[in-house]
Structures are given as structure tokens and as C-alpha cells.
């Protein structure tokens, strides 16, 4: 069934799609968002690690291969709000040293823009969604910008107790910037520090799309169609423009939505899957794939966690799931060069702990079971806390998404994600564990240990990287594909390198930059 | 409205029980209640339930009366998009009953092969502990099924869910649950 042509169709109603929808709807464009999952409301966000799993995907899985298969579902979105419905709302920025890694170190890739190009959008996003923090304190690591609109969040003993150990190790901590309200902001209430952010914040204190950009988009007239699964991007016979998308609706009936602009904001792996599945005689290897890089250069973060139990009552169940303190003091790409490592590390300290679930206290000692586990849970209930060190993986062309032979219920080939860490990343992972123990021991904890396990894969990025031309990338710095001017990509898929910072703040900022550029240049890029 | 008032206010939304079939009638119960009432199982066979119950109790003391078997049986009997299982977010491909059948079968087969024909539920406590420790470390000879450490991890997580992930579980640890939107009293 064909629907009335619209100005913009956006695939995915998560963080990046919501920004595009908001900006373009406010610019007077007729916008339709197609979201494969349900239409969640704030009232659906039950405070429970069980029930929080409902807002994550069960769709056709990507097949996972490589030495470090990318476990994607925990951090993926399903339904309006996407992954940002249950993100932790840590809001660190990338830093200036993230943008020219290839030029400065001979490794990785360069971005076609600099920190200065993105900085104004970080400031705009902070005011749009509400960020709490101390921007002045962060200036020891980055150029000055605007202050955050709210003061830092409250801290709790589970964060404060780490100060001594960091200071002894020569690492400076500042209040973490979070996309959570420390005060009432724009009609949304202040956080009440119950620590359930990771299963969704139903009071709207946390800046998820339902209360920020998606709400603004809907208010400006954007239409959201849920349970709408896009299978292909449609292109004109010339191959030079996108004409819309094909999707299956809630009744599993095929629909076509024509549009002047198509924005793919599904996910770093799903966007290339769709583009590969949209191959035509003019784009035989998938859309916008002259470079052969579509689906390539996937990157992930890994975290080296260190746990501790203190004698004090740390009230570990209180606070936010976002960190209380953070530090860029190990963000230099060569900070752990002596250990054979390369890449940035972003340090976080102290966040609310719940007791079950993947990130819960019980899994802090996943080797324990039976009576030993029961004893540990009692011991940790009030004295447990942890720190984390997010590491940067350099882009590797072999880390990729491609189409598999198996198909989903709509006949779309499943995606296959291949991912392995290289020696630089493994060395950084190990170096951060070593330093984490040093910090923990210096903090005066009663028990300290490393949360070692399989090397984790967090925050999938890349796959549709930005660059200067169709020879070396899929999109330009705005997310516009080089080869099909009215086909745009939004989200972390356009990151050429990952830095070590949690990506959502950068996703918002890049999307705002791209969406505003699109709105301002509408006449030159739409059909 | 101050924080405490707001927390009390939003606790008004009480949802979260699961639908069990009792005497042919769909009834909303917690797994603990379903265990206590002896709600019939829908998908697991009696031998599978017996093994799962024994494994769960050995992994996390208290999992049996917390309704681990009833929880998993109910969860693998509903559409996967409604499931609350950890398997959902660990890239297990639906239907989830396939995974649990394969995992339970692997445990019992390995137990029988290595313990003179005795299934896991027939082992004494020390033997069960040793078996699980070997499963955790992927050291069981002749294991056939999903990876043993992964089975350990997921079944342990399920057992942790019903024992510690509920409001009762938090109370047993002496810590407040503090929900924005509460599950039912026992969850």
C-alpha cells in the first residue's frame, strides 16, 4: 500500500531520529518516523531489572562472529525512545584529541571535522535536554564552552569513597555531567535518586527522547508509526536519489512511504543491513557503497571494572546509574603506552547499584554460587561500590556487518556482525584493570577485585563512517551519503573513531548539527 | 511535591504479576505464589522441572520456593516479545523453550554420564556443588548442548532474579527497593 508522500521519513525513533524529527518538524516539514518496536509510554517503565528487559529487542537477531562477538541486545533499543529509553545518561563529550587520530598517531582514522565544529552543538543539546554538571571543572581537559544549565547531581557515599584512591593515584575527578535533572527543568522534575535509570525513568527526570526531542517533534506535528519494520530503501531508476522506504506495518502488511528525504536512524548495525538489502542495478553492492566501506569499521567500547566493599554503609542503591564522578586524566591516546596500549580511557566512579540483572551486584562475583553467593550478597548489600574505565577501540576494517544467508519473517537477510579486538585494545583493557586495583587499594576498601570476564563490547559505532569523499567513507560530516544526496544516516554509525566517552551526547550533538544543516539547505538536497 | 511525596505518589501504579493458569483460569500471581499453589506447568516436563529446580536451588539458595521453575515455565510459554528472561538480552534466539530444553537436557545427560546414571537432582549437595563448579569452568567431560559456562550464567541469573531481584529479595538483604513504578508487592 502506498501512503501519501511526505517531506521526510525517518527510520528509527531513538536518540538520533528524534533529533532529526524535532528539527525538521519545527522547520515546517511533514515528518513520519517509522519504529519497529512498541509505542512505550513513561508509565510502562517499571522499576525492575526483570521488567526492564521488555524495552529491549527480541527481533530477528544478528548473527555474531569473531573473537569478541558483539553482544548487542542489552544496550539496544526496541520501541520509541530506542536505546536512549534505558541509557545511563552519562554525558561526557569527545575531546579535541579524538578527531585527528590518524594524522596525529598514524593509527585509526580522522574525522572530517574538529572538536570546534561540534562544540556549539554540545552546548545546544545541554540546554535542549537538560544536563547537570560542572562545565568549568571540565575545562582542565577541554576548551571552554557554556555552563551546563543545572548544577551537578547530588553525590552519595558510594561515589565519595573513591576520592581518596584517585587522589593517591594522581587522577583528578570532577562531578560527572549527566543528562538528568538535578533541579526541575523545563517542566520536568528533579531526580529523586532511586537508581532505576537503566530500566527507564518514568518521571521524566532523565533526558530520554520521550520527554525531549521526540516530544518536541510530536508537538510540532511529526507522526510516529510504531510496529513498522522497514526492509528496504527505495531508489529511483537513475540510482541518484532515494524515493522512500518499504516497510511492514503492525498487521504485517507491506507498505511504501515515499519521501523527499530518507533518514536512516535505526542503529549502527541495522542501517548498513538495510542499505545492503537495498542494492539495485545502480548500487549493486548496497546503497552509497562506492567505497566498499558500507558496514565496515565497526568499533566498540570495553570497560575494565574494579569492585570494592567498604566497611561503611555506602547506600549503594541510591543515586543514578550514571556516574557520580568522571575523569579524562587517562584520555591521552598514549596514556598507557608503557603497557603496550593505545587509545583513550574514560574513567567513572560510583553509581547506583541494584542487586540482580546483568550489571547487578550478584554479577560482580559471577564465579560465586550457593552458600558463597548468599554470603557475598549479604556482605555487599550496603558496602559495595565500583569504578569503571571505558577503553577505546581503534577502527579495524575487518570488524563489520554484512548480510547472512538466513532471513527474517519479512524475507530480509539477517545481519552478521563480525568483531574482534586487536592487541592495542587488549593491552588497554589489561592496563586499566591494573590501575583500577591500584586506585581501589589506595581508597581504603576492605575487599577489592577486578571484574574480569570476557572482554565486553559496549556502544556499537561505525559501519557507515563519515569522511571527505565517496572514496573513503559513506557519508559527509553531516550524515548525508556521498552518492545519494537525499539519503542521510544518523547515529553513532557515522563515527569514524569512537573515543572512549559514552556516545549518546555526541549522537545528539552530531544529529542536531546534521538536522540543522539539512533544514537550512533543504532546497539543495531534497528532490 | 517533595521527593518522598513523589515517590509515594508514583508507587500507586501496581503492576507486574504474571499470568498463570490455575484450574483452567488465568490468574495473576507471582512465581512464589505459583510455587506455593502448585500451579501446573505448561511447557516443562516433570523431569525437566525436577532438574531445573535442583540446579536453581544449588545455584542460589531460596530459588525453589521463590518459584524459579514456575517463572521459567511461564516465561517460555508466552510470546518471546513479552518475555522478561535474561536470555532475551543475551542474544539467545527465540523460542526460548529451545534453549532451556537443551540446557536442562545437557545437565542431566552429563550428570548421568559422570555419576553412575544419576541425574542432577539425585546427586548429593557436595556432588551438585562440584558439578556446577565444573560447569562454570567448562570442565565437564562429554558436555553436549549450549556452552556450559553460558548455561551456568543464565540459570544463575534466572535464580538471582527470583531470589534477589524482587521487592522481597531486597528486603531480605536489608536494603530499600525504592521503585518509581513498583512491581507487585512480592516482585
The nearest CA of chain A is from the CA of B167 a distance in Å of 9
Contact flag A46-B15 (C-beta cutoff 8 Å): yes
Tell whether A144 is within 8 A of chain B (Cβ).
Answer: no
B158 within some domain: yes
Residue B14 pLDDT: 39
B71 domain-assigned: yes
Cell, residue A295: 558496514
Say yes or no: B129 contacts chain A, CB-CB below 8 A: yes
Beta strand pairing status for B18-22 and B25-29?
A: antiparallel
Burial A404-433 (b: 16+ CB within 10 A, else e): beeeeeeebbbbbbbbbbbebbbbbbbbbb
For residue A192, pLDDT over 60 is answered with: yes
pLDDT at residue B26 tops 90? no
Report the number of distinct structural domains present in chain B.
1
Q: How many CB atoms neighbour CB A463 within 10 A?
A: 32
In which domain, by residue range, is B64 found? 43-166
Mutate which of B64, B71, B173 to test chain A, going by most A C-beta atoms within 10 A?
B173
Closest CA of chain B from A498, distance in Å = 23
> What residues of chain B, 93 to 122, have a C-beta less than 8 Å from chain A?
93-94
- Does B103 fall in a domain? yes
pLDDT tens digit string along A346-367?
A: 999 999 999 999 999 999 999 9
- In this structure, how many other beta carbons lie within 10 angstroms of the beta carbon of residue A77? 26
Residue A202 contacts B where some CB pair is shorter than 8 Å? yes
Helix, strand, coil distribution of chain A in percent, nearest 5: 30, 20, 50
Tens of pLDDT along A460-517? Answer: 999 999 999 999 999 999 999 999 999 999 999 999 999 999 999 999 999 999 999 9
ipTM, two decimals: 0.93
- Residue B27 forms part of a structural domain: no
3-state secondary structure of A429: helix
For residue B88, being part of any structural domain is answered with: yes
For an interface test with B, the pick among A72, A201, A369, A456 (most B C-beta atoms closer than 10 Å) comes out as: A369
Contact A74 B81 (CB under 8 A): no
- Contact call for B61 and A189, based on CB within 8 A: no
Q: Which of A46, A192, A381 sits opposite B175 (nearest CB)?
A: A381
* Partner residue opposite B180 with nearest CB, options A47, A355, A381: A47
Which single residue is written with the C-alpha cell 574482534?
Answer: A420
Q: Which residues in chain B are contacts of A250 at CB distance < 8 A? A: none
Is B14 inside a domain boundary? no
Q: What is the pLDDT of residues A74-119, one digit of tens each?
A: 889 999 999 999 999 999 999 999 999 999 999 999 999 999 999 9
> Over 90: is that where the pLDDT of A243 sits?
yes
Contact B59 A369 (CB under 8 A): yes
B-interface mutation test, from A37, A40, A47, A57, most B Cβ less than 10 A away: A47
Distance CA B107, CA A114 (A): 55
Task: Mark yes or no for CB contact A46/B80 under 8 Å.
Answer: no
A49/B89 Cβ within 8 A = no
Q: Is A154 within 8 Å of chain B by CB? A: no
| B6 to A189: CB separation less than 8 angstroms, yes or no | yes
Task: Say whether residue A155 is in contact with chain B using an 8 A CB cutoff.
Answer: no
Q: Which residue of A has its CA nearest to B96?
A: A58
Question: Cell numbers of A397, please?
Answer: 576494517
Cβ separation A363–B157 shorter than 8 A: yes
| Nearest beta carbon to residue A50 from set B59, B84, B181 | B84
Q: Contact, A179 vs A131, CB < 8 A?
A: yes
Question: Rounded distance, CA B150 to CA B133, Å?
Answer: 13
pLDDT tens track for A126-157? 999 999 999 999 999 999 999 999 999 999 99
Say if residue A257 is exposed, middle or buried (CB neighbours under 10 Å; 0-12, 13-18, 19+): buried
User: Is residue B83 domain-resident?
Assistant: yes
Predicted confidence band of residue B183 (pLDDT cuts 50, 70, 90): low
Instruction: Name the phi and psi angles at A74, rounded to 5.
Output: -55, -35
CA angle (B101, B102, B104) in 5-degree steps: 65
A49, A50, A366: best to mutate for the B interface, most B CBs within 10 A: A50
Q: Please judge whether A58 and B6 are an interchain contact, meaning their C-beta atoms are less than 8 angstroms apart.
A: no
pLDDT tops 60 at residue B11: no
Interface of B with A in 166-185 (CB under 8 A): 169-170, 173-183
Residue B172 in domain: no
DSSP characters for A166-230?
HHHTT---EEPPBSB-SS-BTTBPPP--BS-GGG--TTS-B--GGGTHHHHHHHTT-EEE-S-EE
Rounded distance between C-alpha atoms, residue A250 and residue A364, angstroms: 40
Rounded distance between C-alpha atoms, residue A251 and residue B51, angstroms: 40
Q: Which residue has the cell 536451588?
A: B57
Reported pTM: 0.95
CB of A357 within 8 Å of a chain B CB? The answer is yes
Q: Is there a contact between A58 and B83 if contact means CB atoms under 8 Å apart?
A: yes
Contact residues, A window 49-68, toward B, CB-based 8 Å cutoff: 49-51, 53-54, 56, 58, 61, 64
Tell whether A195 lies on the interface with B, counting CB pairs under 8 A.
Answer: yes
CA distance A332 to A345: 8
Q: Which helix (H) or strand (E) holds B173?
A: helix B167-173
B5 pLDDT band (50/70/90 cuts)? very low
Higher-confidence residue of A524 and B136: namely B136
Q: Concatenated DSSP letters for A13-73? A: -SHHHHHHHHHHHHTT--EEEE-SS----GGG--SSTTGGGGGS--SSPPEEESSS----G
First to last CA, chain B: 27
Amino acid at each position: 500500500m502506498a501512503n501519501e508522500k511526505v517531506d521526510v521519513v525517518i527510520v528509527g525513533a531513538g536518540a538520533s531520529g528524534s533529533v532529526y524529527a524535532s528539527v525538521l518538524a519545527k522547520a515546517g516539514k511533514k515528518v513520519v518516523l517509522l519504529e519497529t518496536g512498541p509505542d512505550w509510554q513513561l508509565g510502562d517503565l517499571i522499576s525492575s531489572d526483570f521488567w526492564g528487559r521488555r524495552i529491549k529487542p527480541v527481533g530477528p537477531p544478528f548473527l555474531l562472529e569473531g573473537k569478541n562477538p558483539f553482544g548487542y541486545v542489552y544496550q539496544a533499543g526496541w520501541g520509541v525512545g530506542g536505546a536512549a529509553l534505558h541509557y545511563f545518561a552519562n554525558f561526557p563529550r569527545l575531546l579535541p584529541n579524538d578527531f585527528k587520530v590518524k594524522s596525529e598517531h598514524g593509527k585509526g582514522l580522522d574525522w572530517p571535522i574538529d572538536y570546534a565544529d561540534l562544540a556549539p552543538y554540545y552546548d545546544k543539546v545541554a540546554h535542549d535536554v537538560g544536563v547537570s554538571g560542572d562545565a568549568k571543572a571540565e575545562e582542565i581537559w577541554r576548551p571552554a564552552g557554556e555552563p551546563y544549565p543545572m548544577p551537578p547531581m547530588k553525590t552519595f557515599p558510594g561515589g565519595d569513597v573513591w576520592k581518596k584512591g584517585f587522589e593517591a593515584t594522581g587522577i583528578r575527578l570532577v562531578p560527572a555531567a549527566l543528562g538528568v535533572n538535578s533541579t526541575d527543568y523545563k517542566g520536568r522534575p528533579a531526580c529523586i535518586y532511586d537508581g532505576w535509570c537503566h530500566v527507564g525513568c518514568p518521571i521524566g527526570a532523565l533526558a530520554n527522547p520521550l520527554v525531549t526531542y521526540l516530544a518536541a517533534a510530536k508537538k510540532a506535528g511529526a507522526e510516529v508509526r510504531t510496529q513498522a519494520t522497514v526492509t528496504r530503501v527505495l531508489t529511483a531508476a537513475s540510482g541518484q536519489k532515494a524515493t522512500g522506504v518499504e516497510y511492514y506495518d503492525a498487521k504485517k502488511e507491506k507498505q511504501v512511504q515515499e519521501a523527499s528525504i530518507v533518514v536512516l536512524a535505526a542503529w549502527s548495525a541495522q542501517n548498513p543491513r538495510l542499505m545492503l538489502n537495498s542494492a539495485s542495478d545502480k548500487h549493486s553492492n548496497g546503497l552509497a557503497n562506492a567505497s566498499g566501506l558500507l558496514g565496515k569499521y565497526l568499533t566498540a567500547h570495553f570497560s575494565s571494572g574494579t569492585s570494592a566493599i567498604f566497611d561503611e554503609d555506602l547506600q549503594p542503591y541510591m543515586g543514578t546509574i550514571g556516574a557520580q564522578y568522571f575523569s579524562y586524566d587517562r584520555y591521552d591516546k598514549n596514556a598507557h603506552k608503557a603497557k603496550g596500549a593505545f587509545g583513550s580511557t574514560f574513567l567513572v566512579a560510583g553509581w547506583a547499584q541494584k542487586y540482580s540483572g546483568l550489571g547487578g551486584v550478584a554479577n560482580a562475583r559471577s564465579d560465586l554460587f550457593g552458600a558463597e553467593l548468599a554470603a557475598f550478597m549479604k556482605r555487599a548489600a550496603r558496602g559495595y561500590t565500583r569504578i569503571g574505565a571505558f577503553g577505546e577501540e581503534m577502527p579495524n576494517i575487518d570488524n563489520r556487518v554484512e548480510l547472512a544467508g538466513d532471513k527474517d519473517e519479512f524475507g530480509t537477510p539477517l545481519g552478521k556482525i563480525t568483531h574482534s579486538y586487536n592487541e592495542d585494545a587488549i593491552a588497554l583493557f589489561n592496563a586499566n584493570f591494573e590501575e583500577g586495583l591500584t586506585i581501589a587499594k589506595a581508597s581504603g576498601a576492605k575487599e577489592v577485585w577486578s571484574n574480569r570476564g570476557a572482554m565486553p563490547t559496549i556502544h556499537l559505532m561505525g559501519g557507515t563512517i563519515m569522511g571527505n569523499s565517496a572514496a573513503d567513507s559513506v557519508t559527509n560530516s553531516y550524515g548525508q551519503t556521498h552518492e545519494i544526496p537525499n539519503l542521510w544516516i544518523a547515529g553513532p554509525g557515522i563515527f569514524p573513531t569512537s573515543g572512549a566517552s559514552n556516545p549518546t551526547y555526541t549522537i545528539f550533538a552530531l544529529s542536531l548539527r546534521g538536522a540543522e544543516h539539512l533544514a537550512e539547505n533543504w532546497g539543495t538536497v531534497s528532490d | 511535591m517533595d521527593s518522598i511525596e513523589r515517590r509515594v505518589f508514583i508507587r500507586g501504579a501496581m503492576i507486574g504479576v504474571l499470568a498463570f493458569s490455575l484450574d483452567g483460569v488465568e490468574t495473576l500471581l507471582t512465581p512464589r505464589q505459583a510455587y506455593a499453589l502448585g500451579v501446573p506447568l505448561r511447557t516443562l516436563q516433570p523431569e525437566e522441572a525436577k532438574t531445573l529446580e535442583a540446579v536453581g536451588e544449588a545455584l542460589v539458595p531460596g530459588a525453589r520456593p521463590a518459584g524459579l521453575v514456575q517463572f521459567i515455565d511461564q516465561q517460555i510459554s508466552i510470546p518471546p516479545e513479552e518475555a522478561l528472561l535474561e536470555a532475551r538480552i543475551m542474544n539467545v534466539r527465540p523460542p526460548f523453550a529451545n534453549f532451556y530444553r537443551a540446557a536442562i537436557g545437557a545437565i542431566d545427560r552429563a550428570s548421568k554420564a559422570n555419576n553412575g546414571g544419576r541425574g542432577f537432582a539425585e546427586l548429593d549437595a557436595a556432588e551438585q556443588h562440584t558439578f556446577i563448579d565444573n560447569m562454570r569452568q567448562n570442565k565437564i567431560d562429554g558436555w553436549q548442548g549450549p556452552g556450559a559456562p553460558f548455561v551456568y550464567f543464565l540459570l544463575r541469573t534466572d535464580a538471582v532474579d527470583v531470589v534477589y531481584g524482587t521487592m522481597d529479595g531486597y528486603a531480605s538483604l536489608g536494603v530499600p527497593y525504592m521503585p518509581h513504578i513498583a512491581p507487585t508487592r512480592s516482585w
